[in-house]
Amino acid sequence: MATQLSPYLNFDGDAREAVEFYGRVFGTTPDISTYDSVGPVDDPALATKVLHAQLTIEGGGTLMASDVPPGTTLTDRASVALSGETEDRERLRAWFAALSEDAQELTAMETAPWGDEFGMLRDRFGVGWLVNVAAPTP
């Protein structure tokens, strides 16, 4: 059995908007469960918030997310690294471009000192993304 590392992102009420955006970026439909989908909820404001969302990404990987419950402090939204080989270049560059919508570009997608193509941004939801395309092997 293989072990898979899956990033889990935390949001303060905008998880649905974020995972729907990521679904469009990666060409997949998120599976979203709300707090009220698992049973009665005492706080009506929490009922339609995201308890758990999951996106399966083409080529491998799973991205998960949720809204933090009231009274929980959101301290870090996490960062996600996307990496692949030279043959994945077009897809990775397209994802970087799509994630750049209303984002803060921290490092342009270009050849890095170590030889790979690399770019880094903080998206409009505050999540950091690092995209790396391995340099062609000689």
Per-residue pLDDT, 73: 67
- Indicate the domain borders of the chain: 8-67, 79-133
> 8-67 with 79-133: one CATH topology?
yes
Q: Is 8 a residue whose pLDDT tops 50?
A: yes
Confidence of residue 1 (pLDDT cuts 50, 70, 90): very low
Averaged pLDDT of the chain: 88
The torsion angle over the Cα atoms of residues 17, 20, 25 and 26, rounded to 10 degrees, is 140
Q: Are strands 62-67 and 79-84 parallel, antiparallel or unpaired?
A: unpaired
- Determine the pLDDT at residue 11: 92
> Higher confidence at residue 114 or residue 100?
100
Q: CATH for 8-67?
A: 3.10.180.10
Q: Tell me how far apart the alpha carbons of residues 7 and 129 are, in angstroms, rounded to a whole number.
A: 11
Residues with Cβ within 8 Å of 136's Cβ and at least 6 positions away in sequence, in order, are: 86
Q: Identify the residue with better confidence: 45 or 99.
A: 99
CATH superfamily of the domain spanning 79-133: 2,3-Dihydroxybiphenyl 1,2-Dioxygenase, domain 1 (3.10.180.10)
Q: How confident is the model at residue 2 (pLDDT cuts 50, 70, 90)?
A: low
Q: What is the mean pLDDT of residues 103-126?
A: 91
